[in-house]
Structure 1
Amino acid sequence: MPSHMNVEAQPERPRSRLVWIVPLAILGVLVAAYAIGAAVFSTRFLPGTTLDGQDVSLMTLDAVAAQKADDLAGFQTHVSGDGVDLSLTGAEIGLAYDGDAYARDALRQAPAWAWPYELARTRSISAEAPVVYDRDAIVALVQPFVDAASQKEAEAAGSGIAYDPVSGTFTYEASIIAQFLDPEAAADAIGAGLEALEPEILLGPDQLVSGGDALDAATAAANAYLGAAPTQLTVNGQAVLELGRDTIASWVSIGDDLSVSLNQEALSQWVADNVGALDTAGRERTYTRADGKQVSVSGGSYGLVTNEDETVTALAGALAAGAPSTLEIPLKQSPQTAPDAGGRDWGNRYVDIDLSEQHVRMYDDAGALVWESDCVTGDASKGYDTPTGVYTMNQNRASGNVELRGKIDPETNEPEYISYVEYWMPFIGNSYALHDASWRGSFGGTIYQWNGSHGCVNLPTGKAAELYGLCQVGDVVVVHY
């Protein structure tokens, strides 16, 4: 008897799931293909694209940009007007199309998102191509013409700005104001012509500026120096010179480039002629001695000596400040008093050596005669004259067995003489002095003409002792006839 087995029935797989798999796969492929195409044609031109008459099918943005940028390499233009005559090439001013902007503008006209539709079509498009150039290069090429015009104006202006002694100011005539090229305005005009690719570019009135500002600045700078008037120059606080506008104006120099400065050579010459004239050391001075004798004396180391170099520097600084001031003249050597009308610049106290009288006097601070004596001075017959001039008793002053030595005799190689004195009062180095001469029996008269000293002033020993006790280092000594 056959046996029966129970077999469980298998469920059927849904047929609807299989139906959707294939379409979805196809859709995925299509989406991927579309995305790839959109990505490709976002940086590359579609097939069948003509740009401004040139086939750019499948060309990249960079390739189209580079190709367009090179189109102006041979461009030339000519610039004229306002004194300019200039030929420009595209190469020297960096003239080119903005290829990137041009390519991007063109690509936007064939959108990448529509590439499936656009593949079946051809298209002819046109795009804007902005022009770019090196503006600084244009300014540099124009600058020589600007400089030439400015130089021409400056030359006219330099001779046109002048000092007016009536008003006491520097002025200029309005007729000398010139107009010349403004390099920035010229660069703007040339740039506009280049953007339009004009073969001829003409400059006109809009590119000119007035030169009056430069003239005004130069005139103001010159007048600033005049602001220092009046400037007083003093010696030991006493006014000796005064600078007015006319004098200061003679030192102001205006260059061809409208630069304003002090003429150092003219200033130095004025100082030499005027400040230097105040010097008294070595120059002739006239005074009346207490006993009424009129004395004129030249030479010597004592007196006023101005420092001309430092005065020039100080004056230049005072004038640059542009305000009235008082300037103490720098000195190399200062006298006891300011010079009087005759040039005497020492006080009442001094030692007077009268060579013609062969007599020495000393006056005190009140001008009273406190000491006097006959003397013997340098032997005139042998060329040992005592030097005339105004001196001071110096620090070599000494007493007590002071040795004096004469010149070395070339034959014996020994001093011409050796002698000793008790009171040594030098006034020229350590060579010429008042001193005692115990070897002499008489003084005064005409002894000096045939038996004088070697240049010193010989005194009786007692009188020398008295004078030594009265005089001191710094006392003025006047030697005269």
Structure 2
Amino acid sequence: MDKKKKWLKITLGIMALVIVGVYIGGIAAFHGKFLKNTDINGMDVSDMTVEEAEKLIREQVEDYQITLKERGNNSETITAEEIGYHYVSNGEIENFQKSQPYALWFVSYFRPASYAFETAVQYDETLLKEKADSLKCFDKATAKAPEDAKMVFQESENKYVIKKEKQGAKLKQKKFWKLLTETISERDGLLDLEKESCYQTPKVTSDDKDLNQLVENLNHYVDIEITYCFGNQKEVLDGSVVKDWLTYDKKGKVLVKDGAISDYIASLADKYDTYDKPRKFKTSDGTYVTVEGGSYGWKIDQTAEAEELTKLMEEEPHMERTPIFAQEADSWENGDMGDTYVEVDLTKQHLWMYKEGKLIVESDFVSGTMTPARVTPPGIFRLYYKKSPAVLRSTKPGDSYETPVSFWMPFNGGIGFHDATWRGSFGGQIFWNSGSHGCINLPYSAAQTIYQNIEKDYLVICFYRNGEYKY
């Protein structure tokens, strides 16, 4: 053997020993550890023991948190520590390590190894419940329930409009818990509550067909403007009043509440009727007296007007209207007595006759004696008729008479104006003890002038001053 071959053998022998040494050293180095280029669930565990790998995974697990993306660009976070979220070893990592081919440790430098498993984790449900209860998305003060769209009456426009629904921020609790536990189980870091439809929703929205139809039906009735005229005074009937009369059934049919229209007409009558009511009257001397009695005055025909208004409401009217009256007065001025009347001051025993505000005649008179049987009662009356000549008769026992007169003008039963040529004087205090049987006794000329200017239904106003209607 020559010298070259000898050194070659020596070199190869040394190399073989080195290789064997390195190989044996590699086996020793990776004993109980993961080989190079090994990852578990995406984490590099090269050169780590089972304990070290489990610690890495535990730290990664315990670094977990879930973000709740909430309505209104709000978000909240639940951390692993807050819910006792932790890793539980089931031996998977140890099995991975044992399954590696240590005899071929050198292959790992060229061929990576990857392992994956469902990491066994646990969390405390009680802690999760406590944490969830403390979240803002469960705060009753801010997590408001949704509000349905609804109709409201808009005073500024006198009509119904739809108030848009409000989404609110109240969660569907069962769905939330289901999604939350699933998200934690899947180790997902985000739960988008809006995207997952976790919020309660309104049952009725502004585009609801039935709601819109109901608003349209109601507006048909409230689109009304009737101006009732009572002289210079007016009462406007519009949607702001009518809205309180309306109701509707389950099908959206609009109904007017029983009695609503008749009650409204009754309220007008109560306010504007003057029939059988005392009223202020401005006398010829400029003072005011309260006049009552008689059958004069404005009186609404409530039944007829209620029927007419019921019909009008179907037509959406915009109009001025005078109600139907069962009885009318001459005016709305001066206590509804206008400027054409005979003013009979029973206290002063003096009268004035006006026609369209012009004084026609004034005169003293003598009225009924102040006794229960003869006193002239106060009140507002209309002339029945006039007759010339006439004979006044009474067949009343103990007080019968038959008296011819030239001018007879009755206005209150058997009481009226007439001439009394048998009297030598008028006015003053004669009526207290020597008055008439109730009629207004006049001088001939005054009776004649009144007769020439008066006509059927002429207004006659009789009054005492300061409560002097006594005997």
Question: What aligned pairs does 1:354-373 form with structure 2 within 5 A after superposition?
Answer: 354-365=345-356, 367-373=357-363
**What residue identity is the alignment partner of 2:347?**
S
Query: Residues 390 and 408 of structure 2 are in contact (CA less than 8 Å); yes or no, is this contact kept in structure 1?
Result: no
Query: CA 1:324 to 1:336, structure 2 compared with 1: closer, same or farther past 3 Å?
Result: same
Query: Residues 169 and 226 of structure 1 are in contact (CA less than 8 Å); yes or no, is this contact kept in structure 2?
Result: yes
Instruction: Identify the residue that residue 334 of structure 1 maps to in structure 2.
Output: 328
Instruction: Identify the residue that residue 399 of structure 2 maps to in structure 1.
Output: 416
Instruction: Identify the residue that residue 463 of structure 2 maps to in structure 1.
Output: 480
Instruction: Identify the residue that residue 440 of structure 1 maps to in structure 2.
Output: 423
Query: CA 1:343 to 1:254, structure 2 compared with 1: closer, same or farther past 3 Å?
Result: farther
Q: Secondary structure of 1:217's partner? A: helix
Distance in 1, Cα, partners of 2:403 & 2:218: 68
Distance in 2, Cα, partners of 1:427 & 1:316: 38
Query: CA 1:401 to 1:164, structure 2 compared with 1: closer, same or farther past 3 Å?
Result: closer
| Correspondence for 1:344 among 336, 350, 369 | 336
**What residue identity is the alignment partner of 2:160?**
F
Distance in 1, Cα, partners of 2:337 & 2:301: 17
Query: Residues 358 and 444 of structure 1 are in contact (CA less than 8 Å); yes or no, is this contact kept in structure 2?
Result: yes
| Correspondence for 2:384 among 373, 394, 406 | 394
| Correspondence for 1:242 among 225, 232, 236 | 236
Q: Secondary structure of 1:398's partner? A: coil
Query: CA 1:336 to 1:434, structure 2 compared with 1: closer, same or farther past 3 Å?
Result: same
**What residue identity is the alignment partner of 1:260?**
V
Instruction: Identify the residue that residue 272 of structure 1 maps to in structure 2.
Output: 266
Distance in 1, Cα, partners of 2:237 & 2:390: 56
Distance in 2, Cα, partners of 1:167 & 1:371: 56
Query: CA 1:254 to 1:272, structure 2 compared with 1: closer, same or farther past 3 Å?
Result: same
- Identify which range, 304-313 or 291-300, moves more after superposition: 291-300
Q: Secondary structure of 2:404's partner? A: strand
Shift of residue 405, structure 1, vs aligned partner: 1.4
Structure 1: tracts of 5 or more residues without a match:
1-159, 177-208, 410-414
Distance in 1, Cα, partners of 2:377 & 2:343: 13
For normalisation by structure 1, the TM-score amounts to: 0.52
Matched pairs, number: 281
Q: Secondary structure of 1:377's partner? A: coil
Q: Secondary structure of 2:330's partner? A: coil
| Percent identity between the two aligned chains | 27
Shift of residue 257, structure 1, vs aligned partner: 5.3
Shift of residue 262, structure 1, vs aligned partner: 1.7
Structure 2: tracts of 5 or more residues without a match:
1-149, 167-203, 465-471
Q: Secondary structure of 1:382's partner? A: coil
1:299 counterpart = 2:299: no
1:322 counterpart = 2:311: no
Q: Secondary structure of 2:371's partner? A: helix
Q: C-alpha deviations, 1:275-298, integer Å up to 9, x for none?
A: 442222332222323432323212
**What residue identity is the alignment partner of 1:326?**
E
Query: CA 1:406 to 1:285, structure 2 compared with 1: closer, same or farther past 3 Å?
Result: farther
| Correspondence for 1:232 among 227, 231, 256 | 227
Q: C-alpha deviations, 1:193-214, integer Å up to 9, x for none?
A: xxxxxxxxxxxxxxxx999433
Query: Residues 374 and 438 of structure 2 are in contact (CA less than 8 Å); yes or no, is this contact kept in structure 1?
Result: yes
Query: CA 1:381 to 1:323, structure 2 compared with 1: closer, same or farther past 3 Å?
Result: closer
Shift of residue 426, structure 1, vs aligned partner: 0.9
**What residue identity is the alignment partner of 2:318?**
P
Q: C-alpha deviations, 1:10-67, integer Å up to 9, x for none?
A: xxxxxxxxxxxxxxxxxxxxxxxxxxxxxxxxxxxxxxxxxxxxxxxxxxxxxxxxxx
1:461 counterpart = 2:426: no
Q: C-alpha deviations, 1:119-164, integer Å up to 9, x for none?
A: xxxxxxxxxxxxxxxxxxxxxxxxxxxxxxxxxxxxxxxxx75544
**What residue identity is the alignment partner of 2:353?**
M
Query: CA 1:291 to 1:304, structure 2 compared with 1: closer, same or farther past 3 Å?
Result: same
Query: CA 1:315 to 1:390, structure 2 compared with 1: closer, same or farther past 3 Å?
Result: same
Distance in 1, Cα, partners of 2:431 & 2:258: 52
Instruction: Identify the residue that residue 393 of structure 2 maps to in structure 1.
Output: 404
Shift of residue 387, structure 1, vs aligned partner: 2.3
Question: What aligned pairs does 1:173-192 form with structure 2 within 5 A after superposition?
Answer: none
Q: Secondary structure of 1:283's partner? A: coil
Q: Secondary structure of 1:321's partner? A: coil
Q: Considering only CA atoms, is the larger Rg found in Structure 1 or Structure 2?
A: 2
Q: Secondary structure of 2:329's partner? A: coil
Instruction: Identify the residue that residue 168 of structure 1 maps to in structure 2.
Output: 158
Q: Secondary structure of 2:278's partner? A: strand
Question: What aligned pairs does 1:206-225 form with structure 2 within 5 A after superposition?
Answer: 212-225=208-221
Query: Residues 393 and 403 of structure 2 are in contact (CA less than 8 Å); yes or no, is this contact kept in structure 1?
Result: yes
Question: What aligned pairs does 1:36-115 form with structure 2 within 5 A after superposition?
Answer: none
